[in-house]
Amino acid sequence: MSDYNFAYLDEQTKRMIRRAILKGLAIPGYQVPFASREMPMPYGWGTGGVQVTAACLTPDDTLKVIDQGADDTTNAVSIRRFFEKTAAVGVTQATTQASVIQTRHRIPEEPLNEDQILVYQVPIPEPLRFLEPRETETRKMHALEEYGLIHVKLFEDISQHGQIATAYAYPVKVEGRYVMDPSPIPRFDNPKMEMAAIQLFGAGREQRIYAIPPYTQVVSLDFDDYPFEASKAEGACALCAADHTYLDEVIVDDDGGRMFVCSDTDYCESRRQAGHVGAQGTPMGKDAA
């Protein structure tokens, strides 16, 4: 612990990130440029989220890290260990016990409260980037509130597929002004973004930070005749029988066998502990897992 400055980054870097976070909160949905640092992990592994977390962790925090809803995948485990080592903070896998949650591509199923902070890892923060590759142009489009192109993209979805086929990173409009990329969360999670917790977004490679204060209006873009729908796989979790959670498809054998399970591992486990048993599940305590 004493070999590192608290939370790894030097103080001047943290001040720079903190100033960017404050401007991000003051202009919800606007991408604030920041001088992203090299972190001891490759770009694409959550360096933006890690820098934002490092700048807002306090010694009293309890950190939870999830990767696609799971606490026990490589990315989540390594980031959790990183902060255990460099900031000596407590860690947890329980959503309700965490004060700071860093996430890759999911929002926990359990609603967050006012004392929590949700930090997203963002690969491409610019929602218009795949439609207009030039930063100089997308910046003008945001300045002029010129968002016709993104509606054309959704319209092309409908003309090709008969419905809006964008299933993740579904664009949202924040407080009626900025169109924002919610990071590649499934669109099932979009309605949860109007929450009580502070939401911070960090894109390390792209050097952008943005934020959504609590209770901010976040509207998923749609059309009157094709309204937004928070979709998920049909059916219920095979382990905990939940039919209201986002499900992952898991291939279980070479013959096309598959099962659907909750993507949020902590939520699924707490349901199983509460006695819910899915079609392929066994009551908690009777199996090895």
Partner 1 sequence: MQLSALSGGFGNAAQQSATAFRAIMNVMARPGMIETLDGAVPPKGLSTAAGSLLLTLCDPETKLHLAGDLDSQPIRDWLTFHTGAPFVPAPLADFALGAWDDLLPLTQYAIGTDQYPDRAATLIVELPALTQSGTTLTGPGIKDQAQLSLPALEPFQSNAALFPLGCDFFFTSGDKIAALPRSTKPETPPCM
Binding site for partner 1 (CB under 8 A): 5-7, 11-12, 14-16, 18-28, 30, 32-33, 55-60, 139-140, 142-144, 175, 177-178, 196, 198, 211-217
Can you tell me the distance from the alpha carbon of 250 to that of 73, in angstroms, rounded to the nearest whole number? Answer: 15
The residue (of 144 and 288) whose beta carbon lies closer to partner 1 is 144
Minimum Å gap between C-beta 25 and partner 1 is 5
Residues 24, 202, 240, 278: which is the catalytic one? 240
> 9 or 262: whose CB is closer to partner 1?
9
Q: How far is the CB of 250 from partner 1 (least distance, A)?
A: 37
Residue 113 in tokens:
């409260």
Phi, psi of 33 (to 5 degrees): -70, 140
Name, in order, each residue with C-beta under 8 angstroms of 204's C-beta and a sequence gap of 6 or more.
36, 39, 43, 46, 47, 48, 49, 50, 51
* Residue among 48, 237, 278, 281 flagged as catalytic: 237
> How far apart are CB 173 and partner 1 at their closest, in Å?
13
CA nearest to 102, candidates 67, 73, 60, 126: 67
Q: Which of 56, 262, 278, 281 is catalytic?
A: 262
The nearer residue to partner 1, 218 or 236, going by C-beta atoms, is: 218
Angstrom distance (rounded) from CA 192 to CA 118: 12
- CA–CA gap between residue 275 and residue 271 (Å, rounded): 7
**Shortest Cβ 264–partner 1 spacing (Å):** 25
Catalytic residue at 240?
Answer: yes
Token digits of residue 229: 């729908």
29 is catalytic: yes
Can 56 be counted among the known catalytic residues?
Answer: no
In whole angstroms, how close is the CB of 150 to partner 1 at the nearest point? Answer: 18
Choose the catalytic residue: 29, 48, 69, 281. 29
Give the ranges where the chain is alpha helix by DSSP (H): 11-26, 47-56, 74-87, 135-143, 148-161, 265-273
Q: Which is nearer to partner 1, 55 or 239 (CB)?
A: 55
Alpha-carbon dihedral angle through residues 95, 97, 99, 104, given to the nearest 10 degrees: -20
The residue among 202, 182, 212 whose CA lies nearest residue 36 is 202
Catalytic residue among 49, 268, 278, 281: 268
User: Quick one: 196 or 252, whose CB is closer to partner 1?
Assistant: 196
Catalytic machinery residues: 29, 237, 240, 262, 268
